[in-house]
Chain A
Amino acid sequence: MAEPLLELSGVHAAYGDAEVLRGIDLVVGEGEVVVLLGANGAGKTTTLRSICGMVGTRGSIRLGGTELVGRPTEWIIRRGIAHVPQGRGVFGVLNVEENLRVGAWGRKDTKAIEADIERWYGVFPRLGERRGQLAGGMSGGEQQMLAIARGLMARPKLLLLDEPSLGLAQIITRGLFAQLEDINREESVSMLIVEQNAELALSFASRGYVIESGSIVLSGTADEVRGNDEMRRAYLGY
């Protein structure tokens, strides 16, 4: 495994009195793609939210050695994390291009921002065709592409993707993952992906974790996770 970029150790998180994460240990290396699998309510989304400082968290979360726990979301995001939320969370009343500009909020390099906007239009031509259109009027797949491109506009070191395939047709999901693979290879953006579609995610990720009731119950290379009988029965269905 490469140098650790993101390191969670003993992470507990709770909404009020309801403890959702009970001591998570997880590592994402530089340039690595890691997938986090688990049933509904196991704590996958909460793991991403606690990385971003959006839920009360104890323990240690380090990005490139810098401690993130206790910091405000805005500060954490500026350190180089982009979060593509579940259900996409695009700004429906803003147009496509405005959504991308919001993604570049923390950047000051105006020229490079313009170049990046054109670059993502190149990668996702549908977005370029609809640059002036309100995001709320686009299809689910287009909104998902927009959410990912918006996240990448921040030029993150680490991209957190929460259920990118949710509500998308198989064929669109495959195309999307192919593009994520390219982005990971060409931009060396590290990725932590929460995914229901375990098989597809494991074919793309180098390592995987399985979370159950707020604890990591299995971790290893993608092949090891895929080869685990329990895992297969629970999530892959064969």
Chain B
Amino acid sequence: MSPNIDNPAFLLQLLVGGLTNGALYALVALAVVLVYKTTSHINLAQGEMATLGAFVVFALTQQGVQVWIAIAIALVVSFVFGAGVERGLIRPLEKRGIFPVVLATLALFLIINAVIAIIWGTQPVPAPEPFPREIEDKIDVLVGPPPFFITYVALGILAVLVLLLVGLWLLLEKTKLGLGYRAVAANREAAEVMGIPVGRMFMFGWGIAGALGTLAAALVAETAGTLDFNSMASILIFGLAAATLGGFDSVPGAAVGGLALGLIMAFVPGLFTFIEGDLSLVIALIVVLVVLLVRPQGLFGTKTLERV
């Protein structure tokens, strides 16, 4: 047990740290879920596409573009790229079954990874800085010791997640496009006979997922301080774990799953000091294992019915 277990400042610091990391997992999980809901595919290249998007932000800021404008451009580019991958790569393969699609996303993973390394090298580059991250860029809540403070980066990431969730909710629940997307997710064939352009809804989901991934990667790089061609490798695993926990077909589930996973991964090594922080991957995998054993559909997912 940690000697700080009854120290409120220490616990609060774990809470904020856990929520901040959890918000990043939630963003990745949302991307995974938006792809899965309509097309029932898991895009293994989601993380690499996101890294590529973050490098687009980096390249633009290198050219002197203001960082938020660079992010906005990269989001549009990743939306188009994500939608294009669905139309150009996934859909032609889909008729041939699930394995060609899995292999295609795996191939895409390797190709994008290599392309990033060829263009920008394998050495880390300084991450773009949407939120100020100097040592003094924080709000001191408790002076301590131990102190409790909230960095601007943590505040920014949490604000981004909240704004995104509100935006996604409005988009999916209040627009005609969102209604079409949900109808396709609910029953693809029935949606088709309603005259909904099903293919365009697939592209929409993949596009939004691409944009969300890029936003996640830019923020992951910001918290790490640097960006490299493997930045999202482990984050994708945490995102998948978060989606499993929340339920693969649930948008609120992805958010809750991400935050919950972040908290678990902060508090378990924080309180039980014999568990090293390096074991975070193992903790995530244990969470996945427990969910799959106890509640395979996740916290908010729908139970799948095998239809004959």
Q: Which residues of A contact B (CB under 8 A)?
A: 52, 54, 73-74, 77-78, 83, 85, 89-94, 98, 101-103, 105-106, 150, 154
Which residues of chain A are within 8 angstroms of B302 by Cβ–Cβ distance? 93
For chain B, give the interface size range. 10 to 19
Residue of B nearest to A106 (CB): B195
B187 lies within 8 A of A73 (CB) = no
Which of B144-152, B176-184, B264-272, B273-281 sits within the interface?
A: B176-184
How long is the Cα–Cα vector from A52 to B193 in the complex, in angstroms?
Answer: 7
Q: Which residues of B contact A (CB under 8 A)?
A: 176, 179-180, 182-183, 185-187, 189-198, 302
A105 lies within 8 A of B182 (CB) = no
How long is the Cα–Cα vector from A123 to B10 in the complex, in angstroms?
Answer: 63
B189 lies within 8 A of A54 (CB) = yes
A154 lies within 8 A of B186 (CB) = no
Residue of B nearest to A78 (CB): B195
How long is the Cα–Cα vector from A223 to B206 in the complex, in angstroms?
Answer: 55
B193 lies within 8 A of A102 (CB) = no
Which residues of chain B are within 8 angstroms of A98 by Cβ–Cβ distance? 179, 182
Interface of A (DSSP majority class): loop
Q: Given that A102-B179, A102-B180, A105-B180 are contacting pairs, would A74 and B186 also be in contact in the complex, using a CB cutoff of 8 Å?
A: no
15 other contacts beyond A98-B182, A106-B195, with CB at 8 A cut-off?
A52-B193, A54-B189, A54-B192, A73-B195, A78-B195, A90-B190, A91-B190, A91-B191, A92-B186, A93-B182, A93-B185, A94-B186, A102-B180, A102-B191, A105-B176
Which residues of chain B are within 8 angstroms of A101 by Cβ–Cβ distance? 176, 179
A93 lies within 8 A of B194 (CB) = no
Interface centre among A74, A102, A103 (most CB of B within 10 A): A102
Which residues of chain B are within 8 angstroms of A92 by Cβ–Cβ distance? 186-187
How long is the Cα–Cα vector from A150 to B195 in the complex, in angstroms?
Answer: 12
Which residues of chain B are within 8 angstroms of A52 by Cβ–Cβ distance? 193
Residue of B nearest to A99 (CB): B183
B186 lies within 8 A of A93 (CB) = yes
Which residues of chain B are within 8 angstroms of A91 by Cβ–Cβ distance? 182-183, 186-187, 190-191
Residue of B nearest to A52 (CB): B193
Which residues of chain B are within 8 angstroms of A102 by Cβ–Cβ distance? 179-180, 183, 191, 194, 196
Residue of A nearest to B195 (CB): A77
A94 lies within 8 A of B182 (CB) = yes
How long is the Cα–Cα vector from A106 to B197 in the complex, in angstroms?
Answer: 10
Q: Given that A90-B190, A93-B186 are contacting pairs, would A74 and B195 also be in contact in the complex, using a CB cutoff of 8 Å?
A: yes
Chain A nearest CB, measured from B201 CB (Å): 11
Which residues of chain A are within 8 angstroms of B192 by Cβ–Cβ distance? 54, 73-74
Which residues of chain B are within 8 angstroms of A93 by Cβ–Cβ distance? 182, 185-186, 302
A83 lies within 8 A of B193 (CB) = yes
CB contact between B189 and one of A85, A90, A106 (< 8 Å): that residue: A85
How long is the Cα–Cα vector from A103 to B180 in the complex, in angstroms?
Answer: 10
Which residues of chain B are within 8 angstroms of A106 by Cβ–Cβ distance? 195
How long is the Cα–Cα vector from A52 to B189 in the complex, in angstroms?
Answer: 11
A103 lies within 8 A of B193 (CB) = no
Chain A nearest CB, measured from B34 CB (Å): 15
Interface centre among A90, A93, A103, A150 (most CB of B within 10 A): A93
Residue of B nearest to A84 (CB): B193
How long is the Cα–Cα vector from A100 to B197 in the complex, in angstroms?
Answer: 17
How long is the Cα–Cα vector from A106 to B195 in the complex, in angstroms?
Answer: 7
A74 lies within 8 A of B196 (CB) = yes
How long is the Cα–Cα vector from A78 to B193 in the complex, in angstroms?
Answer: 10
Chain A nearest CB, measured from B265 CB (Å): 31
B195 lies within 8 A of A89 (CB) = no
Q: Given that A91-B183, A93-B182, A93-B302 are contacting pairs, would A105 and B190 also be in contact in the complex, using a CB cutoff of 8 Å?
A: no
Which residues of chain A are within 8 angstroms of B194 by Cβ–Cβ distance? 77, 102-103, 105, 150, 154
A105 lies within 8 A of B195 (CB) = yes
Which residues of chain B are within 8 angstroms of A78 by Cβ–Cβ distance? 195
Which residues of chain A are within 8 angstroms of B189 by Cβ–Cβ distance? 54, 85, 89
Residue of B nearest to A92 (CB): B186
How long is the Cα–Cα vector from A96 to B48 in the complex, in angstroms?
Answer: 40
How long is the Cα–Cα vector from A73 to B184 in the complex, in angstroms?
Answer: 14
Lowest 3 CB-CB distances: which A-B pairs, in order? A77-B195, A89-B190, A91-B186
Chain A nearest CB, measured from B14 CB (Å): 36
B193 lies within 8 A of A85 (CB) = yes
Q: Given that A93-B302, A98-B179 are contacting pairs, would A105 and B186 also be in contact in the complex, using a CB cutoff of 8 Å?
A: no
How long is the Cα–Cα vector from A105 to B182 in the complex, in angstroms?
Answer: 13
